[in-house]
Structure formats: C-alpha cells, structure tokens
Amino acid sequence: MTESATFGFQVEATIPGSAARAGRLATAHGPCLTPLFMPVGTQAAVKALGPDDLRTLGATCVLSNTYHLYLRPGAETIAALGGLHHFMRWDRPLLTDSGGFQVFSLSHNRKIDDDGVTFRSHIDGSRHYFTPERVMALQEQIGADIIMVLDECTPYPSDEAYNRQALRRTHAWAARCRQAHGATGQALFAIVQGGVFPGLRQESATYLADLDFPGYAVGGLSVGEPKALMHAMLEVTTPLLPATKPRYLMGVGSPEDLWEVVDRGIDMVDCVLPTRLARNGALLTRAGRLPVKSPRFARQDTPIEPGCDCWTCRNFSLAYIHHLFRTKELLAYRLNSIHNVRFLVRLADEIRQSILAGTFGAAKAAFLATYQPSDPAVAREQRARWLVAHGRGGLVL
C-alpha cells in the first residue's frame, strides 16, 4: 500500500455557485489537464485509431480494460512484453478499469460471494475467478498509470436492499484493494457506488473518502437511469469527496453530459460514445449529431464542421466521408473516429478554458442553447430549461 511519488492532482480554478473546477493531473507518463475526456481503448486500441491519430487529436489519458486484457492477450503476456504502454506504443498516461463492470455486464453464469466473483468468459465460456487481490495483481502486471478497485456494479433498476448489500461488498473490496496494492507507483482510484439511492451514495463517498485514495471514481451511473437522477446522485456525492483529489465519472461522455457533470464537480470522464457513433455514421457537431449517410451530404465539399481543427476536417470533405461510409470503406471509421474523439477532447478543453476564464456558466448555456441532443426527452428538457432561463418558459407546453 504505497502512494505514488509521481501521481498528483492540483486544482487550478473553481467557479462560484458551481462545483466546476479546472485542474492538472501529474502521472509518470506526463500531465493531463482537467476537465479531461478519456477515449476508450478496451482491448489496448481505441477502435479504428492508431497512437499517431490519438496524439494528433490531443488525447492524453487513454482507458483500457482489465477484464478484456486479462482474457486477451493476458496480463502476463502484457507484462512479458514490457507493460501496456510499450505493448500499444502509447507513451502518455493510461488508466485501466478493474473489469468489475464487464464481469457484471458481459460475462455469463456469474457467482459472487464476499471473497470475489466467478464468471465465464464472454468469448469462449471458460471459467475465471476475480478477487480484489487478483485484480490488483493483474493491473500491476498491465501497468497503467491509474488503476481501479474491483467493485460490484448493480444494474438499473435494482432495489435498495440489493444495492446496500452490493455496496457493503464494494467497500470491503475497496479496502482489500488498497491493502493489496503494491509499491508500483500506480495511482489506485476508489469507486463510489450506491445505485440511485442518495443515502447509499453519501455513505459510499464518506466511507471511501476516509480510506484516503489518490483519486475517486463514481460508478454505476449512466446505466439507463434518467439524466436527472444521474445529476442528483452527483450532487449528493461530489461534495463528500476530498476537494484535493480528482473525481472521475465512469462511462459518461455525451457533449451535453460533459458540461452537466463538470458543473457537478467531475474532473474526468471516459466514454465509448465517440468511437461507437463514428462506426455507426453519427458525427458530433456543435449543433448535434450529423448522420453522415444522409444523401444531402453527397456533394458537400466542406468539412464535417467548419472551424473544427481535427485532421479529418482539415483534410477531407463531407462528400468524401459520406461516400466512404456508404461504400463501407474502412477509412471511414478512422476518419469519423478522429473527428468524434477530437470533438470531445476539444470540448473538454473548451470547458476548462471557460473555468479558467471564469465564464463557465455562460459558456455552458451558450453550448447547450445550440446543441441538439439526440435523445428527444433530453432535448425537450434542455430546451425547456433554456426557455425558462431566457424568460420564455410560457412557450413550452
């Protein structure tokens, strides 16, 4: 149980009347500025992107996943090959999730007890066993800069009694992870759970804060619950986490979410959204998602979004990308992913700059006024709030 000598977090600016903050993470592989969007490289690669693309689009910390890497190619293999940084040729920071979420969402015939969890591989049905100690050893072999405790993720919806029981286990496992973590220099983050129950969330934040981790994640959100509930959970959680430690909301990353969760005290997020949307032909713009397959782009000799500084927008027309996607050319997935990931990396930086400049509130309102979320319920809700804020609430039915 050793704190990293190299890991650190410094808050650089805060916003009165908001929990938003700008900060700086230090890791053995260089700094990350917060708010931070982290692209996801589940299997040691961000889908369709090379490390050259990630570097060009300004990614700093990339996520990978212990569950997936453990199954293929194996944590031992990665260790034998010099660790994950060398394996995937990424010399900037890396974070591995513990695999808790995947054990609970992907694997079959899962059996959980206080000691750990038995599960079957989603690939070949083979049987495996994870304990907090095992997951620490695996993540130490893999060698990311930031690693996560093993937690029990509850589905949404699930009742309070079950969530209470799962939380008890999550807390015990967090303490065991803390204990088992060796002197590797890796920063171990705790994960707050508690479903959609404010009391459990508060209990979890308080308990884990007492254990004094170098960073805190919030897990079990964005799993199907209404956005308002997610926001409410953040509002009761982040104030109880140490102000001097980074706060990471797991699996969240739509453009509108980014503003909302930063407003509620989150410093780091990760999400597969930009790369998944890219492969489905949905491109992120400041006006909302753009369906690249639409025939209206067939002759559009302009970038996806004028003013976007990504490599795709600096080099290719919407017409060409439309053609590539329509003809299923693999290059389409790369170009779309570069644009979408850059969009979120850049948006996180824009949020950061607004915090540093003290204009976060106005910047958030301006972004949300023109950004059209794809979820119609969210879009309606957002538009209503905007109209109210602008004294036009009466127009909303």
- Please give the residue ranges that form the binding site for a second copy (CB under 8 A): 43-45, 47-51, 68, 72-73, 77, 80-82, 87-89, 298-299, 301, 315-317, 319-320, 322-324, 326-327, 329-331, 333-335
For residue 8, give the H/E element and its range. Answer: strand 8-14
Q: What is the 3-state secondary structure (H, E, C) of 108-144?
A: EEEEECCCCEEEECCCCCCEEEECHHHHHHHHHHHCC
* Whole-angstrom distance, CA of residue 119 vs CA of residue 193: 21
* Least distance from a second copy to the Cβ atom of residue 74, Å: 8
**Which residue, 21 or 342, has its beta carbon nearer to a second copy?**
342
**Which residue, 237 or 275, has its beta carbon nearer to a second copy?**
275
Cβ atoms of 182 and 131 closer than 8 Å? no
Is residue 35 classed as helix, strand or coil in its secondary structure? coil
* Least distance from a second copy to the Cβ atom of residue 97, Å: 17
* Whole-angstrom distance, CA of residue 97 vs CA of residue 38: 12
* Whole-angstrom distance, CA of residue 177 vs CA of residue 391: 51
Q: At what angle do helices 360-370 and 330-357 cross, to 10 degrees?
A: 140
* Least distance from a second copy to the Cβ atom of residue 121, Å: 13
* Least distance from a second copy to the Cβ atom of residue 214, Å: 29
Residue 160: other Cβ atoms inside 10 A: 14
For residue 39, give the H/E element and its range. Answer: strand 36-39
**Which residue, 80 or 395, has its beta carbon nearer to a second copy?**
80
Q: Which residues of 274-297 are buried (b: 16+ CB within 10 A; e: fewer)?
A: bbebbbebbbbbbebbbebeeeeb
Residue 270 designated active-site: yes
**Active-site position among 97, 145, 257, 263:** 97
User: Whose CA is closest to 152, among 120, 124, 194?
Assistant: 194
Q: Cα 159 to chain center, whole Å?
A: 25
Cβ atoms of 194 and 151 closer than 8 Å? no
- Name 307's Cβ contacts closer than 8 Å, sequence gap at least 6: none
- Name 161's Cβ contacts closer than 8 Å, sequence gap at least 6: none
**Which residue, 50 or 361, has its beta carbon nearer to a second copy?**
50
**Which residue, 206 or 315, has its beta carbon nearer to a second copy?**
315
**Active-site position among 210, 267, 270, 375:** 270
* Least distance from a second copy to the Cβ atom of residue 310, Å: 13
* Least distance from a second copy to the Cβ atom of residue 52, Å: 8
* Least distance from a second copy to the Cβ atom of residue 341, Å: 14
DSSP state of 54: H
**Which residue, 321 or 368, has its beta carbon nearer to a second copy?**
321
DSSP 185-252: SPEEEEEE--TT-HHHHHHHHHHHHHH--SEEEE-S-SSSS-HHHHHHHHHHHGGGS-TTS-EEETT-
Query: CA end-to-end span of the chain, whole Å?
Result: 57
User: Whose CA is closest to 228, among 263, 260, 187?
Assistant: 260
* Least distance from a second copy to the Cβ atom of residue 360, Å: 36
**Which residue, 299 or 392, has its beta carbon nearer to a second copy?**
299
**Which residue, 110 or 299, has its beta carbon nearer to a second copy?**
299
As annotated, the active-site residues are 97, 270
